[in-house]
């Protein structure tokens, strides 16, 4: 085995120039393994993001329904958005189901993190065997390139045996790593293929359903126009815009007033038609008498009651 100083020298040399033995085919397959392993990690992350996005879409369409009702409640357009609300409800349900499907698919990815465990352990062993092989190859190369004496020849023979063993160990582990990586690739595809197949089929299913739901409301513009025409029809105006402010007024006073009150037009305004037969003279006389007595400053409660008792008889109007 190489001693401490040989290992240190080899470490410095490889840090500057890389390994003595450069196996391009091995390097290519190990780089591919790293890329595939990173891809598997990214696949798991994407599935997690897809589940989060599906949950968010479920919430979005639920909130959209709530907001639509908030805007259109008690309006002539409520019937027009019934189709939209039904569509949103169905889409909300589809995304809820899709989220559960993604969760189930994600559970099948747990094996992906273990696929390359064996070749990664073998790569560590191969690296140690490669260093030993490089050490003895370099040592023999130095000895073989010069004339040696008897002592050096014995040294060469001992190192040849170590070199031959290093060659066997290095070749053996290199083949094992290469085969192990390829087996891991096959294992990866055995796991990922059905995952992507299931994902693809469910994506097609949900998008086909979403497309069908959206087709339900392809004439939404026409529905809004129909509702608008219906709302503006004079025969239907009172159904949507009726308003009677006298509903909360003192009915006793209204009944005793000397003019009729009409209400319930399009804008909910109450128009008052004054009675032309009101006795304005009597009103003025009462007002003059009241002002002479108290100028309205000391008009106490008893006087107000007396006035209330006679105002209907004389046709007095507060307005």
pLDDT higher at 276 or 247: 247
The reported pLDDT for the residue numbered 287 is 46
d(CA 98, CA 104): 10
State the pLDDT confidence band at 175, using cuts at 50, 70 and 90: very high
- Residue 261, phi then psi, degrees to nearest 5: -125, 120
Mean pLDDT of the 118-131 span: 94
Q: What is the DSSP string of 27-80?
A: HHHHHHHHHHHHHHHHHHHHHHHHHHHHHHHHHHHHHHHHHHHHHHTTSTTTTT
> Do 51 and 27 form a contact (C-beta atoms < 8 A)?
no
Weakest-pLDDT range from 78-92, 98-112, 193-207, 272-286:
272-286
Bridge partners of 272? 261
What sign results for the dihedral spanned by CA atoms 209, 212, 218, 224? negative
Half-sphere CA count of 297, side-chain side, radius 13 A: 3
**pLDDT 10s digits, 291-303:** 444 444 444 555 5
Bridge partners of 261? 272
Residue 279: which region, alpha, beta or left (left: phi > 0; alpha: psi -120 to 50)? beta
Element (H, E) at 281: helix 280-294
List the domain boundaries for the chain: 4-226, 241-314
Would you say residue 92 has pLDDT above 80?
yes
Weakest-pLDDT range from 124-138, 218-232, 304-318:
304-318
State the pLDDT confidence band at 74, using cuts at 50, 70 and 90: confident
Q: What is the DSSP string of 94-161?
A: HHHHHHHHHHHHHHTTGGGGGTTHHHHHHHHHHHHHHHHHHHHHHHHHHHHTS---HHHHHHHHHHHH
Would you say residue 271 has pLDDT above 90?
no
Fold for domain 4-226? Substrate Binding Domain Of Dnak; Chain:A; Domain 2 (1.20.1270)
The reported pLDDT for the residue numbered 153 is 77
The reported pLDDT for the residue numbered 263 is 44
């Amino acid at each position: 085995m190489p001693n401490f100083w040989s290992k240190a020298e080899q470490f410095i040399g490889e840090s500057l120039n890389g390994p003595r033995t450069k196996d391009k085919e091995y390097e290519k397959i190990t780089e591919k393994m790293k890329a595939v392993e990173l891809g598997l990690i990214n696949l798991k992350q994407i599935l997690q993001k897809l589940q989060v996005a599906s949950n968010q879409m479920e919430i979005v369409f639920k909130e959209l329904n709530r907001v639509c009702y908030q805007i259109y409640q008690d309006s002539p357009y409520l019937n027009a958005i019934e189709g939209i609300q039904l569509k949103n409800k169905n889409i909300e349900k589809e995304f809820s189901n899709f989220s559960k499907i993604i969760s189930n698919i994600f559970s099948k990815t747990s094996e992906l993190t273990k696929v390359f465990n064996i070749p990664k352990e073998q790569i560590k062993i191969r690296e140690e065997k490669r260093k030993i092989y490089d050490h003895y190859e370099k040592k023999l190369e130095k000895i073989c390139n010069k004339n040696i004496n008897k002592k050096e020849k014995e040294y060469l023979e001992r190192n040849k045996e170590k070199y031959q063993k290093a060659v066997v160990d290095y070749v053996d582990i290199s083949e094992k790593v290469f085969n192990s990586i390829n087996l891991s690739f096959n294992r990866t595809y055995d796991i990922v293929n059905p995952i992507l197949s299931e994902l693809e089929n469910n994506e097609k299913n949900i998008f086909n359903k979403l497309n069908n739901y959206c087709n339900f409301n392809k004439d939404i513009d026409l529905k809004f126009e129909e509702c608008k025409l219906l709302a503006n029809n004079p025969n239907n105006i009172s159904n949507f815009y009726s308003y009677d402010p006298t509903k909360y007024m003192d009915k006793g006073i209204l009944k005793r007033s000397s003019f009729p009150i009409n209400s319930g037009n399009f804008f909910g305004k109450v128009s008052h038609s004054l009675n032309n037969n009101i006795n304005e003279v009597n009103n003025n006389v009462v007002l003059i008498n009241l002002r002479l007595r108290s100028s309205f400053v000391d008009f106490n409660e008893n006087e107000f009651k007396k006035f209330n008792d006679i105002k209907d008889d004389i046709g007095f109007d507060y307005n």
